[in-house]
Structure 1
Amino acid sequence: MKNRNIIWLYLFFLVAVMDLLFTANGESEMRMYSKPLIIPTLWAYFIFSSKALKGTLIRKAISAALIFSWLGDVLLMFPNLFLYGLGAFLMAHISYIAGFKVAQTNPFAIGQVNFIRLFFLNLPIYILAAVSYFLIRGGLGDLKIPVIIYLIVIVMMATTARERFKKTNSVSFWQVMIGAGLFMISDSILAINMFFKSFPEAGILVMGTYIIAQFLIVRGIMAHAQ
């Protein structure tokens, strides 16, 4: 059964590599076929390989995040649908927040919180978000409010991933944490390319970090149940 399930992982990597090659070569028409297949193959791998999570809120939340990510991928292929794509990814991050929250021991336990320590633990996340916004703020125009809302939510997604430290096994924590960080980096590169200064390497960097991010998050959540 495991050997059959891993076929989906091979398909995911195959489609991902093809999309990266098309991106690098500027073959946007071919990406209409490759990009929409990236997340479905990863989702299929997650569903068929996470039997231990069947029926749990974790599995439902991560599935929702992947479905919204797929919708965002499709919508962002059309420039005039950018705001809708942004909304889809906003929902994906909200779903990831829910998934990360429940994928830890005693997720809703209330204890003492050292806000100063918490601030410094999350400081790298805040700095990345602040620098990204500082660079793109002048080019946002009418999208300023939606982008700020999106930025706040993705920061919450990354800090929720960081919150899992010592509340799950180390493999699960680091895979999810690195994945969340790469997701932020991917979105930052995309935003800088769109609203600050475009550069030819942006496409491959955005997709490369995004693909690895999604893979690590899925693997990390699966590792939580092992």
Structure 2
Amino acid sequence: MALPLFFGLSAAHILAQVIGIPAAEFVTKALLMPVLAWWLHQRGGPRLMVAGLLLSTGGDIALEFDGLFIAGMLFFAAAHVCYVTFFMRSRKAEGRLRWTILGAYAAMWAVGVAILWPGLGALQIPVAVYSLLLTATAATAASYGVRTGVGGALFLVSDLLIGLRLTDTEVPMHGVLVMATYIAAQYLLASGTLRRVERRAPTPS
């Protein structure tokens, strides 16, 4: 029941954005990650990933209020710490992190920060630090599996779109694109880790 509810809320949220119903946008956005976390918990998913989704809820809500951008960023930074910790622990058990992936994402982070830096003003340092955590999620998720790798990349795209808005760069359908990539990213990260956990579960004899 939880997963269909998540997909229903996702569709309702995007529709509310397109039509322009602020109350529906807020309510559906606030419910998205708790429902996804509930589904992941029900299926026996990793606790760190569940924690990351719940922390993301705090970020989603905080970003809806003027003056709480830094608070929202802190919630999401904590979520990325959970994600990176989980992926790094998993890689430690399975083998080394792929340094080619890490290097590619590090280069992307440097280029992205350099492009956004002049227009960030007082947010330069917070955004640089947060984006480093986000990039770490994308890199470690890519080494974990294809599904989580795509999820991490989409998370990066979603937040890059937010960064462009901070620099007053106009992007058509900005809000819809941010949320569509964000929702897909969180789902792929959650479902990708769950698939691996389920594969490792002992088969009943």
TM-score surpassing 0.5? yes
Output the amino acid matched with 2:43.
S
Output the amino acid matched with 1:40.
P
Q: Distance in 2 between matches of 1:201 and 1:63?
A: 30
Residue 25 of structure 1 and its aligned partner are, at CA, apart by: 2.2
Asked if the contact 2:101/2:143 (under 8 Å) is kept, the reply is: no
Structure-1-length-normalised TM-score:
0.81
SS in 2 for 1:79: coil
Structure 1 stretches of at least 4 aligned residues deviating more than 6 Å after TM superposition: none
The count of aligned residue pairs is 198
Q: What do residues 84-141 of structure 1 show as CA deviations (whole Å, max 9, x unaligned)?
A: 000100000000001112334625x6x7x9xxx82x4334423432343233212211
- 1:1-226 alignment runs, 5 A limit: 7-50=1-44, 59-104=46-91, 106=93, 118=99, 120-164=100-144, 173-225=145-197, 226=199
Q: Distance in 2 between matches of 1:174 and 1:180?
A: 10
SS in 2 for 1:80: coil
Match of 1:169 in 2: none
Cα distance change of structure 1 residues 129 and 47 upon mapping to structure 2, 3 Å threshold:
same
Note the aligned Cα RMSD (angstroms). 2.0
Asked if the contact 2:120/2:166 (under 8 Å) is kept, the reply is: no
Q: Distance in 1 between matches of 2:5 and 2:101?
A: 37
Asked if the contact 1:132/1:192 (under 8 Å) is kept, the reply is: no
Structure-2-length-normalised TM-score:
0.88
Residue 26 of structure 1 and its aligned partner are, at CA, apart by: 2.7
Cα distance change of structure 1 residues 139 and 185 upon mapping to structure 2, 3 Å threshold:
same
Q: Distance in 2 between matches of 1:198 and 1:27?
A: 21
Asked if the contact 1:135/1:192 (under 8 Å) is kept, the reply is: no
Consecutive unaligned residues of structure 1, counting only runs of 5 or more, are 1-6, 54-58, 165-172
Output the amino acid matched with 1:212.
A
Residue 149 of structure 1 and its aligned partner are, at CA, apart by: 0.6
Match of 1:56 in 2: none
Q: Distance in 2 between matches of 1:133 and 1:152?
A: 9
Q: What do residues 2-60 of structure 1 show as CA deviations (whole Å, max 9, x unaligned)?
A: xxxxx10000000011111111223223212111010011111101112xx5xxxxx22
Consecutive unaligned residues of structure 2, counting only runs of 5 or more, are 200-205
Output the amino acid matched with 1:17.
A
Asked if the contact 1:136/1:196 (under 8 Å) is kept, the reply is: no
Q: Distance in 2 between matches of 1:25 and 1:130?
A: 37
Q: What do residues 55-78 of structure 1 show as CA deviations (whole Å, max 9, x unaligned)?
A: xxxx22111101110110000111
